[in-house]
Amino acid sequence: MSEQDRAMRTVTEKDYLELMRDIAAFRRALATTADHATRAQLDRAIREHYAEVRKRDRHGR
């Protein structure tokens, strides 16, 4: 699977390690971004990824 295909998948289609890698990448990007709109997008993506991780932890997936 190509990197672009992996990036295009929705949060629920990703495995646990992909979610955690994405969160780390989003946090690195957030630290270097000054644009408010981009920061808001990154914050939203981080929240979505964390919500999926918490859901999987609760359901034992």
- Burial code (b: 16+ CB inside 10 Å, e: under 16) for 28-59 equals eeeeeeeeeeeeeebeebbebbeebeeeeeee
Q: What is the DSSP letter of 11?
A: G
Instruction: State the pLDDT at residue 15.
Output: 86
Instruction: State the pLDDT at residue 2.
Output: 53
Picking from 28, 20, 22, the residue whose alpha carbon sits closest to that of residue 53 is 20
At 3, is the pLDDT very low, low, confident or very high (cuts 50, 70, 90)? low
Domain locations along the chain: 3-59
* Predicted structure pTM score: 0.75
Tens of pLDDT, residue by residue over 7-61, are 557 777 888 899 999 999 999 999 999 999 999 999 999 999 999 999 888 876 5
